[in-house]
Structure 1
Amino acid sequence: MDLSVLESPASIGAVAPAPLIARRPAQLVGNTPVLWIDEPFAPPGRGFHAKLEGANPGGIKDRPGLYMVREARRRGDLAAGAPIVESSSGTLGLGLALAGLTHGHPVTVVTDPGIEPAMVRLLTALGARVDQVAAAHPDGGWQRSRRERVAEHLAEVPGAYCPDQYHNPDNVAAYRPLAAELLAQLGRIDVLVAAVGTGGHSAGVATGLRESLPDLRLIGVDATGSTIFGQPAAPRLMRGLGSSIHPSNVDYGAFTEVHWVAPAEAVWACRQLARRHCASGGWSVGAVALVAGWAARTYPVGTRIAAVFPDGPHRYLETVYNDAWCREHQLLDQRPLLEPEEISEPDEHVVTAWTRCGRVRDPLGRQTAAKAGVR
């Protein structure tokens, strides 16, 4: 590991520059730190660089929350003071609450009973209204049920605006600054590991990086039970990654490979990150760390791997970090295998544990299939 990439002058004895003073909370978004992660995910010297998006006020989706609202206002799609309504499992809700405070819009977050009570309280404290649907749609699950409720709100309130994070290209464009930050912090990046939910940050960061690093390899991380990469939909315990619908923002052609991770594996990784590195987060963070550690062990020595950690641990204290809750769901004491199962096609069979596939294609046939090259 080249420590000079990460160390600041303050860490080698110089006087640290005075931190910037924000005049508005939106100015706190971005310029998040990078942390080197090795054991127990990889041997010393063969770890990965974690981009800690939990350092934003609400997490990684502060970026698209602010950007989508700003662009909608610029285009005239969102009038001054008009309501914002969106479907969210929580993190984008925080970003939209911040955007609402910044630009003067009331925000309604449509969610479902799986949202953590702490997240409901936090969203409410930030001034957002939380509307929970009562039942999952028989075909599209909770996400389709939530989106149908959003449509009801839009029909009832003239001038209300939905950013539609699943299909809005502004959700992708919002992550170009994150790519620029990674380039400034790390210089060369060979492999990017990113969770996939709406598809926004994997597509946006990879596109931005490939303008300078055309040979970048992108590893997608999904949840078991998610339909994004061609698996059948199933009930999902994990929040924040995966989907029961097919967002058009997912750039299938950009991925080198995809991994599916199960809840117990993500819990193990989250807790190891907290214990060993004092930096952790939720389901997406654990899943990404597990896969990034595998890449650090598998790719040649000297490969520079960056992983995006979308949030911090606070909303998961009663789930991922709660022993009683984890025991109830049989998630404790299940150390993952060192290697994922391998399948040759994304729909070869139903996966229930950590699994890797080197072929990535749009299950709806909207984009040309992309096949991984040989490492």
Structure 2
Amino acid sequence: MNHFATPAAPTAPAQLLTDAKRPTHTPAGLVGNTPVLWIGEPFSAEGSGFWAKLEGHNPGGIKDRTALYMVQAARQRGDLLPGARIVESTSGTLGLGLALAGVTFGHPVTVVTDPGMEPLMTGLLTAYGADVQIVDTPHPVGGWQQARRQRVEELLAAYPDAWCPDQYHNPDNVAAYGPLAHELIAQLGRIDALVVSVGTGGHSAGIGTVLRGYFPDLHMVGVDTTGSTIFGQPAGTRLMRGLGSSIYPGNVAYDLFDEVHWVAAAESVWAARALARCRYATGGWSVGAVALVARWLAGRMAPESRIVAIFPDGPQRYVGTVFDNMYCRSHGLLAHDPVPDPEEISHPGERTVTRWTRCNTVVDPLGAARKKQLTGATL
């Protein structure tokens, strides 16, 4: 039988608060200072592993950080008037963050989503006071994501004082993650590689920019999903939520990435479930995809390398998808153990990928058109 020793009491009362999270008067104070956990064998090969930043320890996940930051910045600029409605498109996690910001700063919140949102998320958002609107038809080109954005435009017209964070193009979405990067530096000291999922581009750009400033040789790996257009692949059906996109987010900092990996849904499910069994720290689609790539990278870098993987959320919202056998069987996601290495392509446009694939060439698919997009011109 294992016996766990009782920790020795601090010799001075002040030491009791050294590692404690201080009391807070507002729910916003619950966000940040999330833990870092070592992910080694048996998930990773013997002698290798990586550090996982567990953003699921925030009340709603990693996007609590950006929701609070974007709302506060908009209030300070006068873009968001006191008591005005917040309207945004989301697949879930940002919605929880905006609900938190709405409670904190006194704003009604409307989130626009699609039928792919889990019933658990819809229930939570409603419980936290958000108005949840679900679009019923995908856009013929931009899919569900574009359909949601069009509904947001309709709502903004209906509520003249309403404000939309526009997480895909709002630079505050990037700036919000500076504190997370500083937490990592304080927790680990040196960081040699960062593995991060890419959706809106906010947390990859925000964390990566700060870390590259401290560690110029940082190796940065972007993780996308098959069927996503972000890194130059054609749009396709995407089962995974939280990473990937069918539009081109303006916040993606392509110049930061040294390589990109596309991961398929079945491969993400395998990794998320393996993490749960091995380390009792897991999450959904993004966590599984990021962990799979970080595991591979850890086996190829020097043993002393410090690799950080960002886990954007926890497992709770995925009990009916990633961790549900009936759901996974119906989508053909089980019994697909990943191969040891990804396939390789030399350029994102070389061919359409359908399984875990790696590319060392990272390009902005819009090229010169990016400037027009960022200034609001129609492409």
Q: How does 1:259-298 map to 2 (within 5 A)?
A: 259-298=261-300
Give the CA deviation at 1:302. 1.1
1:355 and 2:357 matched: yes
Aligned to 1:190: 192
Measured on the aligned residues, the alpha-carbon RMSD in Å equals: 1.5
Aligned to 1:138: 140
CA distances 1:208-246 after superposition (whole Å, capped 9, x unpaired): 112211111110000000000000101110000000000
Aligned to 2:237: 235
Distance 2:25 2:178 in 1: 23
Distance 1:328 1:94 in 2: 28
Pick the aligned partner of 2:66 from 64, 67, 70. Answer: 64
Aligned to 1:17: 16
Contact 2:168 2:250 (C-alpha < 8 Å) held by counterparts: yes
Pick the aligned partner of 1:330 from 308, 329, 332. Answer: 332
Aligned to 1:174: 176
Distance 1:14 1:178 in 2: 30
Give the CA deviation at 1:41. 3.6
Give the CA deviation at 1:39. 2.3
Distance 2:328 2:94 in 1: 25
Output the amino acid matched with 1:256: D
Distance 1:253 1:171 in 2: 18
Output the amino acid matched with 1:187: G
Distance 2:258 2:69 in 1: 28
Q: How does 1:78-227 map to 2 (within 5 A)?
A: 78-227=80-229
Aligned to 1:31: 33
SS in 2 for 1:274: helix
User: Alpha carbons of 1:202 and 1:157: their partners in 2 closer, same or farther (altered >3 Å)?
Assistant: same
SS in 2 for 1:50: strand
Normalised by the size of structure 2, how large is the TM-score? 0.93
Distance 1:218 1:82 in 2: 39
Contact 1:41 1:290 (C-alpha < 8 Å) held by counterparts: no
1:255 and 2:257 matched: yes
Contact 2:43 2:278 (C-alpha < 8 Å) held by counterparts: no
Normalised by the size of structure 1, how large is the TM-score? 0.94
SS in 1 for 2:16: coil
Aligned to 1:5: none
Aligned to 1:7: none
CA distances 1:292-322 after superposition (whole Å, capped 9, x unpaired): 0001001122111000000000000000000
Aligned to 2:373: none
Distance 1:11 1:146 in 2: 52
Distance 1:271 1:158 in 2: 45
Distance 2:80 2:30 in 1: 24
Distance 1:147 1:304 in 2: 39
Distance 2:8 2:204 in 1: 37
Output the amino acid matched with 1:293: R
Output the amino acid matched with 1:351: V
Give the CA deviation at 1:366. 4.2
Contact 1:361 1:367 (C-alpha < 8 Å) held by counterparts: no
Output the amino acid matched with 1:310: P
Unpaired stretches in structure 2, ≥5 consecutive residues: 371-379
Aligned length: 359
User: Alpha carbons of 1:291 and 1:367: their partners in 2 closer, same or farther (altered >3 Å)?
Assistant: farther
Aligned to 1:373: none
Distance 2:6 2:163 in 1: 46
CA distances 1:178-231 after superposition (whole Å, capped 9, x unpaired): 000000000000000000000000000011112211111110000000000000
Unpaired stretches in structure 1, ≥5 consecutive residues: 1-9, 369-375
User: Alpha carbons of 1:310 and 1:11: their partners in 2 closer, same or farther (altered >3 Å)?
Assistant: farther
Distance 1:255 1:153 in 2: 36
Contact 1:266 1:286 (C-alpha < 8 Å) held by counterparts: yes
SS in 2 for 1:57: coil
Distance 1:96 1:269 in 2: 29
Distance 1:362 1:164 in 2: 20
Aligned to 1:245: 247
Give the CA deviation at 1:23. 1.6
SS in 2 for 1:93: helix
Distance 2:6 2:167 in 1: 39
Output the amino acid matched with 2:92: G
Give the CA deviation at 1:38. 1.2
Give the CA deviation at 1:337. 0.5
